[in-house]
Amino acid sequence: MGDSKEKRTFDAIVIGSGMSGGWAAKEFCEKGLKTLVLERGRDVKHLKDYPTTNMLPWEFQHRGQVPMEIQQANPVVSRCYAFREDAMHFFVKDTDHPYTQEKPFDWIRGYQVGGKSIMWARQTQRWSDFDFEGPARDGFSVDWPIRYKDIAPWYSYVEKFAGISGNKDGIATLPDGEFLPALELSCVENYFKDFVSKNYKDRHVIYARCAHLTEPQPIHLEQGRGKCQGRNLCQRGCPFGGYYNSNSTTIPWAAKTGNMKLRPFSVVHSIIYDEQKGKATGVRVIDAKTKETIEFYAPVIFLNAAAFNTNLILLNSISNRFPHGLGNDNGLLGKYVAFHNYRARISGKYDGFKDFETDGRRPTSAYIPRFRNVFKQETDFLRGYAAGFSGFRMHEQNSTDGFGESLKTNLMKQPKLGAWGVGSHMMGETIPKETNHLQLDNDKKDEWGIPLLKISIDYDDNDDKMVKDFIEQMSEMYTKAGFTDIKTTDSKQAPGLDIHEMGGVRMGHDPKTSLLNKWNQLHACKNVFITDGACMTSTSTQNPSLTYMALTARAADYAMDKLKKNEL
């Protein structure tokens, strides 16, 4: 095993270096804990390892497109909007880490330091008590063991450090935060915002809060980050640190303390449970390159491998005490997983504002917070949906008439400005169900000898009704606002492309119906914490990453307090 056990022993171990793992590393290292951060993929250092970040379109061999042979070899990841020539090196190819689909599911992953925080869409909307109280109100899933007041100060804590742009909108369903100045909405977005405000008392159109530095504060400059340049090349990694990712923010912050040991190429096999001590003592790792098995030890373990891999690691952590997975006394590990329903879309045109056009680029859009079933149950489906909204000036297509030189002349003409285009996509809350579950595949293993993950997740009648309602309500709003050429689609896409998978290790009050308590501790193994998407009891309609960050900072603070008191 190389190093002695003493050299492989730390104050804390963090599994995963992405959105939530980076925060756990920062919190522990900042407070003086010698922390081992395990990452199954390669190291990606800010600035140094963004190979395409400053490339011009003509410098790409395929002008940004993914070659057909790569698409055909990787049908799942090729469906992701950000899997393009400029960023595909940050995504897991289908053959790199296969999985078993009992039902179609597009599992999009990023195995490197920073994880998917390099390529995320950077939307950061807080949850409200309407979200945390949802399961208790309608009886589906179990009651969250926390409410908004428990996490609100931690939202503020992570927002100030990460840098979030937005407006104070005063909306009950979407609490305000610690915001940097918002970017501008387009004239059509502002028109629709005013129209909705005047015609729907319970509906709002706002600037979508996002993790971009519009006006860097001293804490951001101390991180070495700069103002967002509006390049809209974020999935490549930003050389300015203009948006939040672990690579530019939490990981280097942890590193500069001298307390972090980052170990890439470390595939976590399982968490080691000591039956005599009644707690976890360490982590069993397989070196991704040498296939050597190595064990590391610490009194506290934060498991932040991203929702489904976190489930996989727990399911594979077998002992006499936990024959069905660590902490799995109730048999619910891997069950009640959920996601966001992105199937429905709507587009249209607006014939006004012909004397305006958009100038420059902007990393976000407008946003329509949830408005269905908020104050009462008013539809034939549970919960609700949020929506994006964008208004942009379109160009008329050049003529393709003629042959040879005349065709070339037509194609080379400066395109004329056309009407304004408008569009929205749905982000619907799905209901966690026992039938939506994850298991280990008993017959197939990956190249490190770990069982493949078997995924069985599908839509239900509630999701179909929600799609129908989104199309009806948004069509009505678009029509009344004077938009024309309205087109709606139900993509029927498989779950997964939302990249918001959640659950399987849900929080709750009762060890009989949940795996984690209100501090994100495993009920049955108190020194193991889960604060990534696996911990989520329900999904709400908001993007979840900000909530993962806040839960992680909160749980790390609690864990450190318990460590000091020798109570872990």
Query: Which among 330, 341, 451 is positioned nearest to 386, based on CA atoms?
Result: 341
3 state DSSP class of 338: strand
- Return the number of other C-beta atoms located less than 10 Å from residue 492's C-beta: 8
Strand ranges across the sheet with 266-274: 266-274, 279-287, 293-297
Eight-state DSSP code of residue 126: P
Instruction: Give residue-wise pLDDT tens across range 339-381.
Output: 999 999 999 999 999 999 888 888 899 999 999 999 999 999 9
**3-state DSSP helix/strand/coil % of the chain, to nearest 5:** 25, 25, 50
Burial of residue 455 (CB within 10 Å: 0-12, 13-18, 19+) is buried
Rounded Cα distance, 32 and 11, in Å: 9
What is the per-residue pLDDT across 43-102, written as a single tens digit (0 to 9) for each? 999 999 999 999 999 999 999 999 999 999 999 999 999 999 999 999 999 999 999 999
Question: How confident is the model at residue 398, as a pLDDT?
Answer: 72
Per-residue pLDDT of the chain (568 residues; tens, 9 = 90+): 568 999 999 999 999 999 999 999 999 999 999 999 999 999 999 999 999 999 999 999 999 999 999 999 999 999 999 999 999 999 999 999 999 999 999 999 999 999 999 999 999 999 999 999 999 998 888 999 999 999 999 999 999 999 999 999 999 999 999 999 999 999 999 999 999 999 999 999 999 999 999 999 999 999 999 999 999 999 999 999 999 999 999 999 999 999 999 999 999 999 999 999 999 999 999 999 999 999 999 999 999 999 999 999 999 999 999 999 999 999 999 999 999 999 999 999 999 999 998 888 888 999 999 999 999 999 999 999 999 999 999 887 777 778 888 778 777 776 788 999 999 999 999 999 999 999 999 999 999 999 999 999 999 999 999 999 999 999 999 999 999 999 999 999 999 999 999 999 999 999 999 999 999 999 999 999 999 999 999 999 999 999 999 999 999 999 999 999 999 9
Residue with tokens 């790792």: 285
In angstroms, rounded to a whole number, what is the distance separating the alpha carbons of residues 171 and 372?
14
Q: How far is CA 416 from the centre of its chain?
A: 38
- φ and ψ of 437, to 5 deg: -145, 165
Structural contact between residues 249 and 162, judged by C-beta atoms closer than 8 angstroms: yes
Q: Which amino acid is at 170?
A: G
Residue 488 φ/ψ, nearest 5 degrees: -120, 150
Q: Is the dihedral of CA 412, 414, 416, 421 positive or negative?
A: positive
CA distance 154 to 129: 15
Q: Which of 182, 236, 175, 206 is nearest to 46 (CA)?
A: 236
Structure tokens at 394: 């379109």
3-state secondary structure of 364: coil
First to last CA, the chain: 27
**Which amino acid would we find at residue 372?**
R
Which distant-in-sequence residues (6+ apart) come within 8 Å of 196 by Cβ? Answer: 203, 204, 205, 368, 477, 481
Contacting residues for 522 by C-beta, under 8 A, at least 6 apart: 326, 327, 505, 515, 516, 528, 529, 530
